[in-house]
Structure 1
Amino acid sequence: MAKATKKQALGRGLSALLKDPSNDIQSAQDKNADKVIGNIVELDLDTIEVNPFQPRTNFSEESLQELASSIKELGIIQPITVRKIGLNKYQLVSGERRFRASKLLGLESITAYVRIANDQESLEMALVENIQRQDLDPIEIALSYQRLIDEINLTQEQMSERVGKKRSTIANYLRLLKLDPIIQTGMRDGFISMGHGRALIPIEDQSIQLDIYEKILSNKLSVRETEHLVRGYNTSDEVQPNEVKHESNEVPKYIKKGIAAFSEYFGHKIDVKVSKNGKGKITIPFHSEEDFNRIKKLVQGDSK
């Protein structure tokens, strides 16, 4: 217990040093930088801002509450990491869940490692560290890899070295970004797995991707069954009995344009059927009670 008290007191002492205008540390060469950089410091939560480079966008409220309960009982076991951006101002590099859970508890301060980093270094640190997390969905990981390529100019080989993953693994994630955005959303929401997504990649036509995606959801197809369905599309021009059926009638241009907008808005492939006299029917699928209520809110929002 004595060791923990000493460590905590040291953190508070360093915090006071960081608040002193005469010790505004901006680089590793500044006076007293060695006393702060890389050490555990107790920081006020209201001096920390979230990282705009954070690749993770989904934070489960339930998991945050569970983490908050754990922090209440045990405290912060793993300090967050921040970078100093001004006098007594910091930006998260990693640990946003711990940061959010601490704010939920109403805590005033949190233990943190302080680093000095420019925007590019901060982006790279955030992306690489978050890729290592176990709870990121496949699309979040793929987008993180893509940002490392676009914004840090890393090659797949360089990324392989930085994140400790095989180049082929990185390539498989990046290929997921070729899928229709609706399918990517379905993967993020857990409607389909990464295996289902990989099975759809050989289909270049995104309208056919969406047809198969709907078939996966409605028939609860396994990854193997999905792969078989995709092979059928790639090896035959004829639609097999278990494959998606296409309407033989030509859909009017005004409907083709509208379907894309409807599908994007509702987050699902919208089905439109038109008879010869011009009358038709719009079908909006849903996959759970929660999904139904989400669509209901969208419809009600438009009617107000």
Structure 2
Amino acid sequence: MAKAVKKQALGRGLSALLKDPENDIKSASDKNADKVLGNIIELDIESIEINPFQPRTNFNEETLTELSISIKELGVIQPITVRKTDFNKFQLISGERRLRASKLAGLTTVPAFIRIANDQESLAMALVENIQRHDLDPIEIALSYQRLIDEINLTQEQLSDRVGKKRSTITNYLRLLKLDPIIQTGMRDGFVSMGHGRALINIENKKAQLSIYEKIIAESLSVRATEALVKDYQLGKSGQKPASKPVAAPVPEFVENSIPKFTEYFSAKVDVKVDKNGKGKLIIPFTSNDDFERIKKLISGEL
């Protein structure tokens, strides 16, 4: 949560920089331009005009309303992209649905990436440098990859060469952007890892994605447990039955009667596992190195 606040504060600070007439950035070589390129900045919605050459003119009102509700709850997950046209004036490049939904949600500012005239290469350099940081979450990296592809017109092969990553790595990050926005937010906030996301992306049904995501959070499931859940869901969807787990044999009475004595002797809850052939093992838990040494001495008769 502290991380998100830090980003918002940074965005507001850069927004103030752009409103300062003494810092009217017009090209990539201007003073403080390096602070703008590659960063997310909170811009006043009223300072952004719609691109007149935007090919898309029809927007589904129902889906726009749904997006505005999501934005009210979660904020704008993926920043829009604008081009600076004049002092504190910007023209939208991409993200018109997000901009319209933000207005519908009553927001006065919106997070944005800013482009400056003739700054394509500078933007590419800034993004590549940003990707190399170690404190980025998987969604931030995925968004940076997507921007390089969309705005610098790079193929995945060219992007692989530019950032020094395997194409398969880039593909894995980009696929995360297909996850439900709630899951993307959970990943950005650190509730789930990229491994969880990679497992969930194999489920196309968003409701099923969210159902398993909620189970991961509620039960603190590992990536491996998540993968197992996804596999069970896919098998169930295909009509196949998940492989049944072996059923443990009942613990013999003579062993059952001795468990309390073992527990008392070792001062630890002793567990028993028995297979179908009647063979078994005792499991004695320990909590630390000292506890292990204590149990070892009890077994060897040193205590």
> TM-score, normalized by length of structure 2?
0.43
TM-score (norm 1): 0.43
Whose radius of gyration is greater, 1 or 2?
2
